[in-house]
């Protein structure tokens, strides 16, 4: 099937139809994504909100954590009810989970979602997921969940409004690192081209998402990068967010986005890590890689997941304890890859 000049794999068409089958007219639909939503999660749910409301469904966005300020420009008036997310989930006829398929990444909403009658999922992560059973549009080979929401609309021949197209473009732009990462496929570039034909202004979106940083974000980045450690002989590098750094700079977790790319950009580094203490006592580890290093596999060992080149996990323990465990595993993993190439 080909629409908007972009062929859609038959399995995605069938999956889109299965998801659409539970989205009958007049139904109340809650849209949600993972904690600390990124551009792909927000862009995908905002675009789907437009698609559903334009067809008479009562849609609402109900996220486990507040939507980052830099993505507020995408939000339609009255769409975001994350402040009362649990009630929105409990009162919905259908819950659509986007950009994640694991209950563990849905924070305080996990319990309400587990008890929901119908839970659909649109996602591009490699995890098998732990959501309640329901229709799934899942394709790990997709560059972003926004690509799959584009396929969903195209398969059903639902036109994209300029606002929906803009939200999908943000999702694709951010999850491909502004079309720099290895997941930038020929297909997703064709999808981005189709979105531009819907009236998307790429320069204004780039300025809003990447070139409007508050001063605190830049100062936070400077402090985090001062913790840089590089083990050149192993191709390993990592940074650590100092205690209370976010509070001291008036920053949020979203302001850490992209910092781990700096150690990954060092010549010879194949695996980069960022460590951050969370308020719940756990330590969040962000994994990034180059070449044949599969960080999804590495993160999975610690109860996390993601993509081959970008993944994450949250571990119990102090920063020192978690760093000891994760760095030991990372060194062993890199050594095993080096041995396999010999």
CA angle 286, 84, 87 (to 5 degrees): 110
> Which pLDDT score, from 0 to 100, does residue 1 have?
72
- Tell which CATH architecture fits domain 2-210: Alpha-Beta Complex (3.90)
> Which pLDDT score, from 0 to 100, does residue 225 have?
98
Please count the other Cβ atoms lying within 10 Å of the Cβ belonging to residue 241: 22
Rounded Cα distance between 296 and 286, Å, is 11
Looking at residues 263-285, what average pLDDT do you find?
Answer: 95
Instruction: Give the mean pLDDT of the chain.
Output: 94
Helices (H), the chain: 10-21, 39-53, 85-90, 110-114, 145-155, 162-175, 186-196, 202-210, 215-225, 245-248, 261-264, 295-300, 319-341
> Which pLDDT score, from 0 to 100, does residue 341 have?
63
Rounded Cα distance between 25 and 95, Å, is 15
Looking at residues 168-183, what average pLDDT do you find?
Answer: 94
Both tokens of 127, joined, read 């995890």
pLDDT tens string 103-134: 888 989 999 999 988 999 999 987 767 899 89
The helix (run of H) or strand (run of E) holding residue 98 is strand 94-98
Q: Where are the domains of the chain?
A: 2-210, 215-341
Of the two residues 87 and 339, the one the predictor is more confident about is 87
pLDDT tens string 16-42: 999 999 999 889 999 999 988 999 999
pLDDT tens string 132-166: 989 999 999 999 999 999 999 999 999 999 999 99
Q: How many residues does the chain have?
A: 342
CB 241 within 8 A of CB 274: yes
192 φ, ψ (degrees, to nearest 5): -60, -40
* The CATH number fitting domain 215-341, selected from 3.40.50.300, 3.40.50.1820, 3.40.47.10, 3.10.310.30: 3.10.310.30
The burial of 203, by beta-carbon neighbours within 10 Å (0-12 exposed, 13-18 middle, 19 or more buried), is given as exposed
| Band (231; pLDDT cuts 50, 70, 90) | very high
> Which pLDDT score, from 0 to 100, does residue 116 have?
87
């Amino acid at each position: 099937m080909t629409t908007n000049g972009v062929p859609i794999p038959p399995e995605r068409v069938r999956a889109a139809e299965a998801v659409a089958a539970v989205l009958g007219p007049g139904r109340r639909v809650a849209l949600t994504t993972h904690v600390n939503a990124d551009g792909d999660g927000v862009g995908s749910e905002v675009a789907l909100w437009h698609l559903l409301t334009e067809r008479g469904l009562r849609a609402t966005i109900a996220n486990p954590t507040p939507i980052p300020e830099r993505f507020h420009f995408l939000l339609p008036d009255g769409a975001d009810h994350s402040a009362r997310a649990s009630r929105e989930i409990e009162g919905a006829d259908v819950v659509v989970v986007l950009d994640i398929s694991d209950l563990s990444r849905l924070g305080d909403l996990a319990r309400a979602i587990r008890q929901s009658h119908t839970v659909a999922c649109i996602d591009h992560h490699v995890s098998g997921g732990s959501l309640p059973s329901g229709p799934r549009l899942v394709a790990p080979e997709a560059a972003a969940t926004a690509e799959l929401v584009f396929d969903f609309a195209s398969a059903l021949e639902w036109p994209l409004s300029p606002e929906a197209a803009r939200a999908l473009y943000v999702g694709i732009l951010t999850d491909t690192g502004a079309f720099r990462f290895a997941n930038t496929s020929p297909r997703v570039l064709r999808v981005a081209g189709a979105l531009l034909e819907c009236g998307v202004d790429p320069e204004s979106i780039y300025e809003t998402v990447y070139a409007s940083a508050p001063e605190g974000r830049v100062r936070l980045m400077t402090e985090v990068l001062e913790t840089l450690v590089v083990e050149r002989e192993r191709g390993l590098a990592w940074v650590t967010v100092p205690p209370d750094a976010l509070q001291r700079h008036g920053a949020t977790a979203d302001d850490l986005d992209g910092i781990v790319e700096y150690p990954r950009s060092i010549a010879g580094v194949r695996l980069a890590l960022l460590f951050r203490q969370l308020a719940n006592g756990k330590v969040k580890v962000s994994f990034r890689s180059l070449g044949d290093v599969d960080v999804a596999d590495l993160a999975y060992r610690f109860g996390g997941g993601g993509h081959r080149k970008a993944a994450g996990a949250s571990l119990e323990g102090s920063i020192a304890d978690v760093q000891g465990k994760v760095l030991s595993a990372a060194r062993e993993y890199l050594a095993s890859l080096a041995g396999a190439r010999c």
